Amino acid sequence: MKIHGLLVILFFLFFYTAAKAEASFTEIDFIRLLDEHGSVMLIVDSKTGQIVFSNEAAQRFYGYTRVELESMTIQEINALTPEEVEQERLAAAREERNHFIFRHRLAGGDIRTVEVFSYPYHLAGRTLLFSIIRDITPAVRLAERKAAFQLYYLAIFSLFTAVLAFLSIKLYRLLKKTKKEQLLLIEAERTIRIMVSNIQGMVYRCRYDEYWTMLYVSEGCLKLTGYRPEELLHNAVVDFNSIIAEEYREILRKKWLVAIEENSIFEEEYPIITKDGSQRWVLERGQPIYEGGTICFLDGIISDITGLKNSEELTTAYKDKLLATLISVGDGVITTDRAGKIELINPVAQQLTGYSHDEAVGLDFASVFYIVNEYSGKKEECPVKKVFATKSTVVLDNNTLLISRDGRQTPIEDSAAPIRDKEGAIIGSVVIFRDNTERYQKKKEIEYLSYHDYLTGLYNRRFFEEELTRMDYIRNFPLSVILVDVNGLKLINDAFGHKAGDELIVKTAEAIAKECRQGDVVARYGGDEFIVLLPNADEAAAKEISKRIAGSVTKEKIFDIAISVAAGWATKYHETQNIAEVISSAENRMYEKKAVEKLSGSSSVIKSIQDMLLARHPWENEHANQVGRLCELLGEAAGLGPDEVKRLKIAGELHDIGKIVLSESLLNKTERLTEEELGEIRKHPETGGRILLSSAEFIDVAAAIAAHHERWDGLGYPRGLKGDEIPLEARIIALAEAYDAMTAVRPYRAALSHEDALQKIKRQAGKQFDPALARLFGMLCFEK
């Protein structure tokens, strides 16, 4: 019973705490878990007895549908009187008892003995009883059968002993009686023999001699052993001792000798081998018979208990399996007695506490299970003491650390519950806990990510704003703020990809953090913005730190391009100042500096990108210069003004800047390009346009560069523009770029002559090229 109570409570606690801990469970999920669980579960109103919830297992067990069962009261099921049921409900509601044994009626009229664990909880002003019900009818019937069996055979054995004594006396007297009296005695003897022959089992008398010779065997021996009485009488065919399983023979002989010596009852269970070779378990009860103080006979009865033995073995196997389950579960389990001394500690608990089973058993629970709060480090109250004090289940906080014997700290989830006997008295406790390290680490990761920027590791805006509220007090005045904006992030992203942009952000973050003081709060405020909170720093200190930050950032480079930032600062000196306005002032100062530095900053980055492209592909340098020169000539011939010609020449020199994103292997490939590779190359006009749009200096040439691969007939890329839809500058760049490409040596082909190139342009006039510009280009006199 003790083990059973422990396991039921173990199951209930595990199920309850698991459902409670999973934050992702919805109410529907939880109800479904209850509904589909294999254990019989009912929720009953403690006041009225109304069944308000029944799971599927309950419906199968009682034989009612959900609607039928949930329209009934528990009084209609319980075999007690309504008054008695009410008393038991109120006892459970007051937690005076939580464990009950009842007899419940099923829909078909059958009465089943059930074990009920019932715990109260309060909901919307009602006290409800959550009950887990287990059918223990087979176990109860088994116990009743065994008790009745033993009483029955004790009575039979007593009767048999009395009968034999009666027969002995009467037979002795028979010799002295009249014939009529003799006939009456013979009839009485026959009646008694019939009674004995109908006794279930084998009644016997054997002589106490060397062979224990059988003198009397009842008819029941045939059913029990397969041998007829005459085969056993006087050991005629078989010695009964040889029927006994060999390993039990000497044991039984010694026990009989003890009974003879002490003149006591012999009782023993053992297996026999029947005539057909099968094995049966029997219970033998016997006693020695003395005459004149000398042992003469052994009388007894042997009964078949095979069915009972099998049931006992199943029960034992079931208990062993339950205990093995308790030992094998993935959670740590420790049970104690009423004094809090450890009785059982499973392998998981041994590993987590550092104590072996032999070391822990008998120790005070608190000396083995040492727990502290992870934040304060203070020792937590012993859960077993809480259980005994409250007489109810307790659950520890999620912030609990178990300190093992060797000082190892393990975050755990923990619950403890009382173990009660069948009368409901607390006889011990069970503590169930699990290693929560994985969930603990995930919780810490979530906490970290909720307050940190995933890319830089700095605090995020959420944390900054919480810290700002905490630090906006007079003890931190003067309180300064620095806002930092990274220059050229979009340009770097467009030119080199977002991975390079991320590297730019990370390097900037590291440079900022390096120049700040201990106690300053550095956070990523937005995509390319950072913010620094400086307690006890006046405006001069904020300015100096801003200057150091800008200098430190400038030392960092991305693809040999120097990084730059714009920084602004402001200071709060008095409580009357609004901190939001201080931040706004710092932001305005930052944007003023950014506006001044943006032109030169973006232009320098673009020039750096162009220099990188030309350094990576030397032939691009000649190509860029040639296209720029040809654009200048054609622009002048087309009647463009000096400023337009100058801008056109710059556009010609920068027309392939978008190729910075292409790999060297692709640009230098000599084999025929695949469709995928062609697709990558065709992206460079738009990429070049985006890069140049980031700079006010080059914004006017961005559209021409983005469209320089469009065709007059609309079959170009990237947008498929046609005719005059294509900007004039782009049409000029297209002619200049095509001519230089045809007349220059490339890794994948030889150069065309000036004349061949002009002929090809002429043939493509009106198709690839603007026909008017193609004719004008053919009339130009220039040297290749």
Find, among 614, 522, 597, 611, the residue nearest to 563 by Cα. Answer: 597
Most confident of 266-270, 608-612, 623-627, 730-734: 730-734
Token readout for 32 is: 């479904």
Find, among 131, 103, 124, the residue nearest to 41 by Cα. Answer: 131
Q: Looking at the predicted structure, is the pLDDT value of residue 471 above 90?
A: yes
* Residues 6+ away with beta carbon under 8 Å from 475: none
Residues 42-74 pLDDT 10s: 999 999 999 998 999 899 999 999 999 999 999
Question: Cβ-count burial of 10 within 10 angstroms (0-12 exposed, 13-18 middle, 19+ buried)?
Answer: buried
Render the burial of 744-759: b for 16+ CB within 10 Å, e for the rest.
beeeeeeebeeeebbe
Q: Give the Cα separation of 113 and 102 in Å (integer).
A: 6
The pLDDT, as a whole number, for residue 21 is 41
Mean pLDDT of the chain: 84
Q: Which residues pair with 582 in a beta bridge?
A: none
At 516, is the pLDDT very low, low, confident or very high (cuts 50, 70, 90)? very high
Q: Looking at the predicted structure, is the pLDDT value of residue 583 above 70?
A: yes
Q: Looking at the predicted structure, is the pLDDT value of residue 368 above 60?
A: yes
Return the amino acid letter for 671.
Answer: E
Residues 208-247 pLDDT 10s: 888 888 898 888 899 999 999 899 888 877 788 889 999 9
Residues 179-212 pLDDT 10s: 555 565 555 555 555 555 556 788 888 998 888 8
pLDDT (average), residues 575-598: 89
Q: Give the Cα separation of 11 and 19 in Å (integer).
A: 12
200-214, 310-324, 541-555, 743-757: which range is least confident on average?
310-324
Residues 12-27 pLDDT 10s: 433 443 444 443 444 4
Find, among 159, 150, 113, 114, the residue nearest to 132 by Cα. Answer: 114
- Of 152 and 716, the structure prediction assigns the larger pLDDT to 716
Query: What is the maximal distance between C-alpha atoms in the chain?
Result: 168
Cis amide bond preceding 478, omega within 30: yes
Return the amino acid letter for 275.
Answer: K
The pTM assigned to this predicted structure is 0.48
pLDDT (average), residues 273-287: 92
Residues 656-673 pLDDT 10s: 998 888 888 888 787 888
The pLDDT, as a whole number, for residue 241 is 83
